[in-house]
Amino acid sequence: MPRRTLDFSDWLTDRVHHIESVLEQALPASTVVPGSLHDAMRYAVLGGGKRVRAALVYAAGEASLSAGTAASAQEIALDHAAAAVELIHAYSLVHDDLPCMDDDALRRGRPTVHVKYGEATAMLAGDALQPLAFELIGLMPIAPALVVQATQLLARSAGSLGMVGGQAIDCESVGKVLAAEQLQQMHSMKTGAMLEASVLLGGIVAGAGSSARQGLETYAAAIGLAFQVVDDILDVTADTATLGKTAGKDAAGNKPTYVSSMGLEGSRELLQSLHAQARNALLPLGPSAARLAEIADFIVGRDR
């Protein structure tokens, strides 16, 4: 059955299985020297996860392609881009879980990488996942000028003005009360930057024009923030078993969150407003953006 006609939940399941097999092939086998490093990299990446970033790459690719079906080179390029954002995400989780950062022993219901492989190997696994992401972008079989754009975008989004910068602000702000604006800046860097990159990478690969890219950017900024607002709400409303990670961790660590800044009700109102912004931004893209709209619904409605 063509993917376009699947309902959302089946489409997402299909994409999750697909990216898992792409990642499985992109990662060096555990038999390749150094085996323990590759083993740790595979454990970090192939341990499940929601694969929201990969889904965004595919959905944005679908929304931007002019023809109904992606050409084979573009399909492969979307696989590379989707794998790249998942690798960056996975490395950031490995490093965040380390004792010198969040010191978390549980992730997706399993021991974290440093608990299983030791701190040195966990740090090196993260360090090696990052260039693998850039290698996959570099190997996308599309016009070199588009590959270069994708490289620049991924680099900027993953760096000190994007994801890692947001993480640093988060670390610095433990025990402080952040104003709503500062909180928003922190999250738009820490989580939003890579979600946005996922959407825009899909657009770049599919050759989206400048007006389509603008719609994608607005959509991406809104769902990037929405994602974090949901995370903060779940931290106080869900339990550890459902979440697959330690619930109440941010509240207990006195970390600033949307809930601590604007209360549970205020956070839920903000979430509804971001949801509407995201869906409205997609209107100019027409029916091909249906998956992106469904992902926005999914992010807002998720319970873990």
Residues within the interface to its own copies (CB under 8 A): 28, 32-34, 36-38, 41, 91-92, 95, 98-101, 118-121, 123-124, 126-128, 130-132, 134-135, 137-139, 143-145, 147-148, 151-152, 154-156, 158-161, 164-165, 167-169, 171-172, 185
Give the residue with the Cβ less far from its own copies, 120 or 283.
120
Element (H, E) at 107: strand 106-107
Helices 144-158 + 119-138 axis angle, to 10: 150
Instruction: Quote the CA–CA distance of 153 and 148 in Å, as a whole number.
Output: 9
Shortest spacing between CB 27 and its own copies, in angstroms: 9
Q: Are strands 110-111 and 106-107 parallel, antiparallel or unpaired?
A: antiparallel
Q: Which of 241, 11, 262, 223 is nearest to 108 (CA)?
A: 241
Q: What are the phi and psi torsion angles at 6 (to 5°)?
A: -65, 150
- Which tokens belong to 290? 């249906």
The residue among 149 and 218 lying less far from its own copies, judged by its C-beta, is: 149
Least separation in angstroms between CB 101 and its own copies: 5
Whether 48 and 20 have beta carbons less than 8 Å apart is answered as no
Of 148 and 179, nearer to its own copies (C-beta) is 148
The torsion angle over the Cα atoms of residues 290, 294, 296 and 301, rounded to 10 degrees, is 170
What is the smallest separation between the CB atom of 30 and its own copies, expressed in angstroms?
11
* Smaller CB separation from its own copies, 34 or 263: 34
Q: At its nearest, how many Å lie between its own copies and the CB of residue 133? A: 8
Compare residues 38 and 51 and give the one whose CB is closer to its own copies.
38
Q: How far is the CB of 298 from its own copies (least distance, A)?
A: 28
